[in-house]
Amino acid sequence: MDNKQLKIGLIGCGRISHRFMQGLAVVDGAELTAAWSRRAESVAEFIGKYGGKACSSLDELLQSDVDAVYIATLPDSHAHYSIAALRAGKHVLCEKPATVNLAQLDDVLALSKANYLLFMEGMKPPFYPLYQKLKAHLKTDPIGAAGYVRAGSAVADLSHDHPNFSYQLAGGAIMQIAPYEAFLALDWLGPMTNLQAMGRFSGKEVDMFSIFQTLHDNGYAQLYCGFDLHGKGDALISGPSGYITIHQNWWNPAKATINYLDGRIVELDEPYTAGGLNYELSHFCELIRNGQTESPIITHDLSRGMMGMLDEARKQMGLRFEGEV
Ligand SMILES: NC(=O)c1ccc[n+]([C@@H]2O[C@H](COP(=O)([O-])OP(=O)(O)OC[C@H]3O[C@@H](n4cnc5c(N)ncnc54)[C@H](OP(=O)(O)O)[C@@H]3O)[C@@H](O)[C@H]2O)c1
């Protein structure tokens, strides 16, 4: 595809979709042309604010001339809408977690391959300027091979009716927060070979606070996620010649400190702009233009690795969603 303006359709007009629009506003060569969500009022309000066509059904959106869709519903419906969009010939950028489980993800990825269409999970941290600057810095001033990652996020200020607490919508801390932690561990330590998880449900049907430690090809990770404690939200990455702190909130990385064994301290400071989803979106649009069906950064294998970690953690904690055995 040449440099023509990419037409983006949106499925789901909630909180993150507004942030997506903040990002889209600064991405060249892409525009919102249509949106659909469950409630007509949501769509009308959204389109009233950002422009484009308010679709009254999913079919109407998928039959329109959008090149790609951004799926920003809740995890229970990600696979369903990804499959519908890929069948309709649309490229897909889908919010994390990509699906409810690995079996669903494999169906989505198989369709992406069979139809030569791009599928990418919206995993934002690696596209932030700070994260990229950190990786570039370590190439010339390394800390050695990373062998340990400690990271987590716990937010205790969500209202009780937040979808993150819903069993039917495949909520819970593991599903909603741990995709980021899984990404960080896999990105620095390679594929996971073992996982030990513990968590509690606190009267809800989904996990409210979970911890897990993982063994990877290149080391260990200790990770946490939760909704009933106030966590710091930084990340530690250790190598033989130094350690890195990505300061809170590490999943929207803007500052990092590298402490070297020889006493040197390097501070990296790279604020992000436009809400931060603009970076992954630029990458997604570039892939479409280049005719690529898989991101070299958020690869299909990486999405499978993240999902595999969530599946295993849930299995050990006895958290199964509807239809899972
Ligand atoms: N990348 C990030 O930084 C980030 C941050 C937060 C969340 N997320 C992810 O983004 C996703 C959405 O989170 P959110 O906080 O934006 O949720 P939200 O505010 O509840 O928004 C979800 C939207 O999807 C619509 N929707 C829900 N289920 C649907 C269904 N089955 N069919 C059609 N429309 C449906 C809702 O519908 P109506 O309004 O039409 O009823 C709502 O507009 C989650 O997967 C979450 O993990 C990502």
This prediction has a pTM of: 0.97
Question: Look-up: residue for tokens 């494999």?
Answer: 106
Give the chain's radius of gyration (CA, Å). 19
Mutate to test the pocket of ligand 1, among 10, 11, 16 (most ligand atoms within 8 A of CB): 16
- CA 297–ligand 1 middle distance (angstroms): 24
- The span from the CA of 123 to the CA of 145, in Å, is 23
The architecture CATH gives domain 6-123+277-293: 3-Layer(aba) Sandwich (3.40)
Dihedral sign, Cα of residue 290, residue 67, residue 18, residue 235: negative
Atom of ligand 1 nearest to the CA of 17: 16
Ligand 1 touching residue 278 (CB < 6 A): no
Ligand 1 touching residue 256 (CB < 6 A): no
Mutate to test the pocket of ligand 1, among 70, 73, 252 (most ligand atoms within 8 A of CB): 73
Question: What integer pLDDT is reported at residue 274 of this predicted model?
Answer: 98
Token pair listed for 38: 């469950």
Contacts of 14 (CB under 8 A, 6+ apart): 37, 42, 72, 73
Mean pLDDT by 10 residues, the chain (325 residues): 86 98 98 98 98 98 98 98 98 98 98 98 98 98 98 94 94 97 98 97 92 98 97 97 98 98 98 98 98 98 98 97 89
The CATH classification number of 126-272+307-317 equals: 3.30.360.10
> Is residue 108 within 8 Å of 79, Cβ to Cβ?
yes
Ligand 1 touching residue 176 (CB < 6 A): yes
Question: What integer pLDDT is reported at residue 202 of this predicted model?
Answer: 84
- Whether the bond between 249 and the residue before it is cis, its omega within 30 degrees of 0, is yes
- CA 279–ligand 1 middle distance (angstroms): 20
Ligand 1 touching residue 96 (CB < 6 A): yes
Ligand 1 touching residue 283 (CB < 6 A): no
Question: What integer pLDDT is reported at residue 2 of this predicted model?
Answer: 62
Mutate to test the pocket of ligand 1, among 17, 21, 37 (most ligand atoms within 8 A of CB): 37
Atom of ligand 1 nearest to the CA of 41: 40
Q: Of the candidates 10, 322, 15, which has an alpha carbon nearest to the alpha carbon of residue 163? A: 15
- CA 200–ligand 1 middle distance (angstroms): 24
Q: At what angle do helices 15-24 and 277-289 cross, to 10 degrees?
A: 60
Question: What integer pLDDT is reported at residue 1 of this predicted model?
Answer: 59
- Domain positions in the chain are 6-123+277-293, 126-272+307-317
Question: What integer pLDDT is reported at residue 204 of this predicted model?
Answer: 81
Question: Look-up: residue for tokens 């603009």?
Answer: 278
- The span from the CA of 52 to the CA of 33, in Å, is 4
